[in-house]
Structure 1
Amino acid sequence: MASPPLLLLLLLLLLLFLLLLLLPLLLQHSSVDYRPYYYNQTLDHFNYAPQSYSMFRQRYLVSQRHWGGSGSPILAYLGAEQPIDKDLRAIGFLDDNGPVLDSLSVFIELKYPHIAIGVLASSVSILYFDNITPQNGYYSVVTKDFKQVSESCYQTRKDSWTEIDKIALQLDGFSVLSKKFQTCRKLENSDELRDALDTMYSHAAQYNNPPVTMMCHAIDQHSSLEKYPHSDIIGRIAAGVVSYYGNNTCFVNQIGVPTQTSTQTSIGWRWQTCSEMVMPIEKGLNDTMFPPSPFYLKKSARDVKSVLSKFGSNIIFSNGLRDQYSSGRILKDLSPSTVAVTTHNGAVF
């Protein structure tokens, strides 16, 4: 009978042999089935300033794996609001999309119907403009997502803003909040914490990652352990933060982690929503679980629905109703060829 070390060696040799047999097959299935190309693109097609005529090399990918050849339709996929490399690692090729670029796909179909046969417009907030969608729609959906999971979780979040402000006004208030929320560095003002919580709740509602249910479970579980009912609102919120971030050593203002002010996507998003596609998102007085924050810019808006009903064709608007941007999207059929598909418990997709 072979000794244990010899058996282990034989087992390793067997695994190596099997790996060598399967390696060609693995390489075949994991090989990249698309090729990168570059196009000399004009910087800005809609601005006649001299710098707008500058050129840049726009990268795009082409896959012919499922293409039928000359005369067959071409699927144009407009990305997911981030660089191609990150797209491929996160969602693969032609597996998902982004609401901003999908909005462009709708207008491409309207402007060039002779080229675009049809459009699948997933998570497109083209109705989120003044006098079309209620300005508190975004945060109303976030609130609804949390309230549907747990009434006590919703109420805790709603009450927490006053509690945060109350502690922040104390002499050592920022130290207390920093300790409670295990911040990576001491808070300099309460807005730093409030903004982080706002982003956290919105992200959980929109992407369901981590699920809202997980955050609410942590809050409600902490509440059940309190000696006196409603005695530790901040502790409950902090428990939700821990469930959101997982096993991190610190939370909220992590050093070295990309923030809302540093990523390419966030910078581009802020520029677009303040220039090309202004979305008047506000928090009304006592109509969400967030503190009030009005939107001041007043702008007129065209009737997008009317335009789509008259000129749109072969457009599918797909939306998850748990995504807060769904409040500004097409949720009902506009015509026999411009239709809406919704998923009641779906997030952004």
Structure 2
Amino acid sequence: MHSSIASYQWLLHIFTVISSLQVSAARFNIPRLSPTRGTILQNPEILSATISKDFQTFYYNQTLDHFNYRPESYSTFQQRYVINFKYWGGGAGADANAPIFVYLGAEEPLDGDISVIGFLTDNAARFNALLVYIEHRYYGKSIPFGSRKEALKNASTLGYFNSAQAITDYAEILLYIKEKYNARHSPVIVIGGSYGGNQEQTCSEMVMPIGIDNTTMFPPDPFDLSNYIDDCKKLYGVSPRPHWVTTYYGGYDIKLILQRFASNIIFSNGLRDPYSSGGVLEDISESVVAIHTVNGSHCLDILGANQDSDPDWLVMQRKAEVEIIEGWISKYYADLKESNNRSCTQNKRKD
């Protein structure tokens, strides 16, 4: 339990950009909105042909279960991640400690994200950034147990499909990359939209008590937890834990928690996105800020920029986000320099 909390805090304290960060499905009949609009959910080959040769695919030998010590917990699977080295200043030389931009995969194969999520490539040259894209476990080519059929066949194999495991997957891969490429002191910008890893999880940890009352054009369908639990048992053999997310991550008072314990986060929302109603729409502190636009839609700001068709308000939204990130990185470098100078002074005193 301690290691899971530590890895979660580690990801929170590296620099983060979160676009339209709402869980994208509540009940089985509520549509999910992925950043790529679900284009390749069933056919990951549709967009893969458009991926530039600058992107190199790697596989990390990932631990199946980060939180237990049973023999089966030490089983591994191949988790896919993709790197673009084109713009990176590298871990040494004039551009030492250049930043790393990371996209955390959504509830689909990684292929479409690479083609569509343009915020990273659009801004990489400005920061000399290394670009990293990590696929969420149980999607695309990052499937435990050898095949999707085996991975999803029963509650025992589905038990490893949850957000805590996924967050720790990301932490392991990022630490490995920083070590491998001599980037120990490179700041990390994490970018994500919606939630990576939904579906089966609405029957475990992502229980959203959303129903339909009699004030809409739709037939009334009030949320009933007992029926919800029964449906999950029938579909997956899993009993939901309705309060596990807030127990594990906190969230009873989001504003107070983020104000006390979080830093360097942008909550970006377009108010035409129906899930923005559950988003953070007001600044919480100097470094935990909310940016929203009246006409924006789901994850629009992290998609690729189009100089010919992007409206002025979208251009300004992205510009504001980039300038905030630039400020974070500048402060990080200043703090790093001060820390190094302090260490040098202490070493001289010892000598």
TM-score by length of 1: 0.41
Higher strand share: 2
Which structure: larger Rg? 1
TM-score by length of 2: 0.41
